[in-house]
A = this chain, B = another copy of it.
């Protein structure tokens, strides 16, 4: 059974084994491809990062960190990075970790989650985040240099927490009522609910 738990000191080797191929590939994370083990672990476990692992039958098969994306007036927006072990991709591990992180973020009082840099060619990730309620709110033209030498766009993806989304739905719903009084059907406004 897949479980997600806080990382412990003795997970470091397992975490590095997950990070290394992704860093070396250089096609999704904006990290130097030659980053050393110690640099990578220092990045993953940086100050302010809360680190978790996904585990199946005692084997660590994924890891993620949760942090505030900004300080001060921006500290209510969370940010995460997720990586799944290469032989466990496409099996719901990232989905489980993201679900866990949304719960964790909510319990810590975050009001939104932001992904700063989703490479547009990482279509599986884009699809997954969309299915979990994230929207593409920005496009950074040619902001990513693929190892193949091509410049790719990157997306900023964003998701307000359920309660804020619910509030927005109410507002939309009120707007719909007011609009329907003006002869516009509720159905026409369906696309702006989220």
Shortest A180–chain B CB gap in Å is: 25
Q: Which residues of B sit under 8 angstroms from A29, Cβ to Cβ?
A: 72
State which residues 147-180 of A face B: CB under 8 Å.
147, 151, 154, 156, 158, 160, 164
CB-based nearest B residue for A70: B30
CA distance A117 to B160 in the complex (A): 17
Shortest A100–chain B CB gap in Å is: 23
Q: Which residues of B sit under 8 angstroms from A72, Cβ to Cβ?
A: 26, 29-33
A20 within 8 A of partner (CB): no
State which residues 1-51 of A face B: CB under 8 Å.
26-27, 29-33
A114 within 8 A of partner (CB): yes
8 A-B Cβ contacts within 8 A? A26-B72, A32-B72, A70-B143, A73-B147, A76-B145, A77-B143, A112-B140, A142-B164
Contact B160 A30 (CB under 8 A): no
A138 within 8 A of partner (CB): yes
